[in-house]
Amino acid sequence: MMKILLTTLLLAAPAANAMNAVMYQPQLRDTTVSDAQWQHVLSQLKGQGIDTLVLQWSRYDQAFTAGESRAWLEHKAQLALSGGLKLVIGLSADSQFFERQKQPGPALENYLNHLRANDVAVAKRWVDVLGAQSISGWYISSELDDRRWRDPQMQRLAEEWMKKTRLSLAAVADKPVAVSSFFAGNMTPDSYRKWVTTLSHSGVKVWVQDGAGTQMLTEAERALYLQAPSAGKVIELFRQDKQSRTFKATPAPVSYQQKWLATPVPQGQDRVYFSLRYMSAANGVLAH
- Asked if 280 and 32 touch (Cβ cutoff 8 Å), the reply is no
- Asked if 116 and 168 touch (Cβ cutoff 8 Å), the reply is yes
| 60 domain-assigned | yes
Residue type, 13: A
**Residue 1, pLDDT score:** 43
Query: DSSP 3-state assignment of 180?
Result: strand
When comparing pLDDT for 48 and 12, which is higher? 48
Alpha carbon of 85 to those of 28, 101, 179, 269, 276: distances in Å? 22, 34, 20, 18, 14
CA distance 120 to 258: 37
| 67 domain-assigned | yes
**Residue 17, pLDDT score:** 63
- Report pLDDT digits (tens) over 54-65: 999 999 999 999
- Report pLDDT digits (tens) over 45-89: 999 999 999 999 999 999 999 999 999 999 999 999 999 999 999
Average pLDDT over residues 259-267: 96
**Residue 3, pLDDT score:** 40
Query: DSSP 3-state assignment of 239?
Result: strand
Average pLDDT over residues 12-40: 86
- Report pLDDT digits (tens) over 111-125: 999 999 999 999 999
What are the residue ranges of helices labelled H in the chain?
Answer: 2-17, 35-47, 67-82, 97-100, 105-130, 152-172, 189-200, 219-225, 254-261
| 23 domain-assigned | yes
| Paired strand residues for 87 | 53
Average pLDDT over residues 20-29: 98
- Asked if 235 and 207 touch (Cβ cutoff 8 Å), the reply is no
| 13 domain-assigned | no
- Answer whether residue 103 shows pLDDT above 80: yes
- Answer whether residue 162 shows pLDDT above 50: yes
**Residue 32, pLDDT score:** 97
Task: Please give the model's pTM, rounded to 2 decimal places.
Answer: 0.94
**Residue 244, pLDDT score:** 83
**Residue 8, pLDDT score:** 36
What count of residues does the chain have?
Answer: 288
Task: Count the Cβ atoms, other than its own, within 10 Å of residue 106.
Answer: 8
Q: How many domains does the chain have?
A: 1
- Asked if 250 and 238 touch (Cβ cutoff 8 Å), the reply is yes
| 6 domain-assigned | no
- Asked if 71 and 31 touch (Cβ cutoff 8 Å), the reply is no
Q: What is the dihedral of CA 57, 182, 161, 116, to 10 degrees?
A: -10
CB burial readout 5-19, b (16+ within 10 A) else e: eeeeeeeeeeeeebb
- Answer whether residue 193 shows pLDDT above 90: yes
| 287 domain-assigned | no
What mean pLDDT value characterizes the chain? 93
**Residue 5, pLDDT score:** 39
Give every CB contact of residue 274 below 8 A, 6+ residues apart in sequence.
22, 23, 209, 213, 234, 235, 236, 237, 238
Average pLDDT over residues 140-168: 97
Range of the domain at 46: 19-282
Give every CB contact of residue 25 below 8 A, 6+ residues apart in sequence.
56, 57, 275, 276, 277
- Answer whether residue 2 shows pLDDT above 70: no
| 251 domain-assigned | yes
| CATH code for the domain of 223 | 3.20.20.80
| 5 domain-assigned | no
pLDDT category, 281, cuts 50, 70, 90? Answer: very high
Residue % of the chain over a pLDDT of 70: 94
